[in-house]
């Protein structure tokens, strides 16, 4: 694996950091259309994770060993 390609994988740590620390998001406000922060924040991470995986996929598709 090329060294540069490997760095892109670090982006995939973000979803873990974003979702595995509940004290950060265990709150009601700001709510979104009545949905407490706790819920829409975690749903938002579903979308963000999908986007991050897409970015990593595009950035690393040329490095065959990944």
Partner 1 sequence: MLSSGLIIFLVLVLGVTAMGFLAANWGRANLQHFEEWALGGRRFGTLVSWFLLGGDLYTAYTFVAVPALVYGAGAIGFFAVPYATIAYPVVFIVLARFWSVAKRRGYITSADFVRDRYGDRTLEICVALTGVLAALPYVALQLVGMRAVFVQIGGIFAAGGSFVALAVAFAILGAYTYTSGLRAPAAIAFVKDALIYVTVIAAIVVIPAALGGWGHIFSVAQTALAARKTPAGILLSPGAYFAYATMAFGSCLSLFIYPHSITSILAAKSSFVIKRNAALLPAYSLLLGFLALLGFCAIAAGIVTKDGNQIVPMLFARYFPDWFAGVADAAIVIGALVPAAIMAIGAANLLTSNVLNQFTPQRPPSETRTAKALTLVVCAAALIFVVELPVQYAITLQLLGGAWMLQIFPTFALGLFTRWFHPKALLLGWACGMIAGTGMAYETFVATGKFQANFPLPLGSVTLLGFIALYALLVNLAVAALATLALTAAKVGAGTDATVAGDYA
The residues binding partner 1 (CB under 8 A) are 9, 12-13, 15-16, 19-23, 26-28, 31, 33-36, 38-39, 42-43, 45-47, 49-50, 52-54, 56-57, 61, 64-65
* Nearest approach, Cβ of residue 23 and partner 1 (Å): 6
Q: Which is nearer to partner 1, 7 or 16 (CB)?
A: 16
CB 48 within 8 A of CB 18: yes
Q: What Cα–Cα distance (Å) separates residue 46 from each residue in 2, 4, 43, 49, 57?
A: 29, 26, 5, 5, 17
């Amino acid at each position: 694996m090329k060294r540069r390609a490997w760095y892109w994988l670090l982006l995939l740590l973000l979803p873990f950091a974003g979702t595995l620390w509940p004290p950060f998001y265990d709150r009601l406000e700001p709510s979104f259309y009545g949905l407490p922060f706790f819920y829409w924040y975690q749903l938002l991470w579903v979308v963000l994770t999908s986007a991050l995986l897409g970015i990593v996929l595009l950035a690393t598709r040329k490095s065959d060993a990944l």
